[in-house]
Amino acid sequence: MEDYLKYLNPKVLNKINGLELKARLIVEGYISGLHKSPFHGFSVEFAQHREYVPGDDIRYIDWKVYGRSNRYYIKEYEEETSLTAYLLLDTSSSMQYASEGCMSKYDYACHIAASIAYLVFQQQDMVGLCTFDNKIQKVLPSSSNPAYLGDIVKTMAETSTNEKTDISEVLKYVGERLKKRGLVIIISDFMDEADNVLAGLRHLRHRKHDVVIMHVLDPDELNFPLQKLTQFEGLEDINSKVVINPRAIRNAYLEEINKFISNLKSGCVANRIDYQQITTDQNLGVALSAYLANRSGRR
């Protein structure tokens, strides 16, 4: 088996098989009959009436309404289009962290991205991939061809992680260049200032994208279980090193990380962005299927 296929875990795929990735907001998409499109044509599902204007096709005049009001109204319908899911994958150096017994945040994020891509292809919709650190690294244009899944996972496997993060600028750049509104799924540890991250997310929402963030963290980052005198290295600056007694800073660290997560969550809620925290010690199949079921229920 090719090494990159490790990101397609049969147990995870079996767990999410049959679930649906639904668009919560109205975007330019329609996944297998599940989503409304903002475009109106003269087919599929009835949407609304509007007044007749010269040049409109008289075949679509609602004569029953005319009989009641003596005015001409046109029937408009929702148009079917395909939804495009854009996967934005963080490849910055901090994503390489892995505590004992866990895979790295990057490998876990790749499993998430591959599983979501698989699901969207199963729904006969389109998926694109963008890898980034402090700038865009690699872009795979969106496609609905299931064979494209191999290209996506291979690209993730061949990507190196050795730069800092600048999520805000990356998200602004992406938002300006996505020609079609869709579902933007950002998979990252979000090692950046919360205000910077939220500024980039707001830009995507301003561009009318439906946005999901998958906040991937190692359990060590949430629990800080270290006890002995330890040399700490900067996750994105290996030249930054300091020896500290972890017990002396544990409370301050936990306060800061919880404050960061709280600010990020509340900012997402305020902007109608899905926030999903997931740690690398979690069973991905269980976590992902629970999220998808919950998202569908909130639609």
What pLDDT, on a 0 to 100 scale, did the predictor assign at position 179?
A: 77
What pLDDT, on a 0 to 100 scale, did the predictor assign at position 227?
A: 80
More confident residue, 47 or 15: 15
CATH number, domain at 187?
Answer: 3.40.50.410
What is the share, in percent, of the chain residues with pLDDT greater than 70? 83
Task: Please give the mean pLDDT across all residues of the chain.
Answer: 84
Residue pair 212/138 in contact by the 8 Å Cβ criterion: no
Strands (E) across the chain are located at 40-41, 45-51, 73-78, 84-90, 126-132, 136-143, 183-188, 210-217, 230-234, 237-244, 274-279
Q: Indicate whether 39 pLDDT > 60.
A: no
What pLDDT, on a 0 to 100 scale, did the predictor assign at position 150?
A: 92
- 177 and 68, same structural domain? no
| pTM, to two decimals | 0.79
Using CB atoms within 10 A of its CB, is residue 146 exposed (0-12), middle (13-18) or buried (19+)? middle
What pLDDT, on a 0 to 100 scale, did the predictor assign at position 164?
A: 80
Q: Which domain holds residue 58?
A: 40-78
Determine, yes or no, domain membership for 34: no
Q: Indicate whether 270 pLDDT > 90.
A: yes
What pLDDT, on a 0 to 100 scale, did the predictor assign at position 275?
A: 97
Sign of the C-alpha dihedral computed for residues 24, 201, 277 and 272 taken in this order: negative
Residue pair 49/76 in contact by the 8 Å Cβ criterion: yes
- 70 and 135, same structural domain? no
Q: Indicate whether 178 pLDDT > 50.
A: yes
Determine, yes or no, domain membership for 124: yes
- 210 and 157, same structural domain? yes
Determine, yes or no, domain membership for 284: yes
Q: Indicate whether 152 pLDDT > 50.
A: yes
- 153 and 52, same structural domain? no
Residue pair 49/65 in contact by the 8 Å Cβ criterion: yes
Q: Indicate whether 204 pLDDT > 50.
A: yes
- 287 and 199, same structural domain? yes
- 169 and 151, same structural domain? yes
What pLDDT, on a 0 to 100 scale, did the predictor assign at position 261?
A: 97
Candidate from 13-17, 85-89, 265-269 with smallest mean pLDDT: 13-17
Top mean-pLDDT range of 15-24, 49-58, 140-149, 281-290: 281-290
Determine, yes or no, domain membership for 93: yes
Confidence tier at 161 by pLDDT (50, 70, 90): confident
- 150 and 256, same structural domain? yes
β-strands 73-78, 237-244 pairing: unpaired
- 222 and 161, same structural domain? yes
- 180 and 258, same structural domain? yes
- 90 and 66, same structural domain? no
Q: Indicate whether 35 pLDDT > 90.
A: no
Determine, yes or no, domain membership for 52: yes
Determine, yes or no, domain membership for 129: yes
- Number of structural domains in the chain: 2
- 220 and 101, same structural domain? yes
What is the share, in percent, of the chain residues with pLDDT greater than 90? 48
Determine, yes or no, domain membership for 173: yes
Q: If we measure between CA atoms, which residue out of 235, 194, 190, 232 comes closest to residue 213?
A: 190
Determine, yes or no, domain membership for 35: no
- 208 and 61, same structural domain? no
More confident residue, 293 or 218: 218
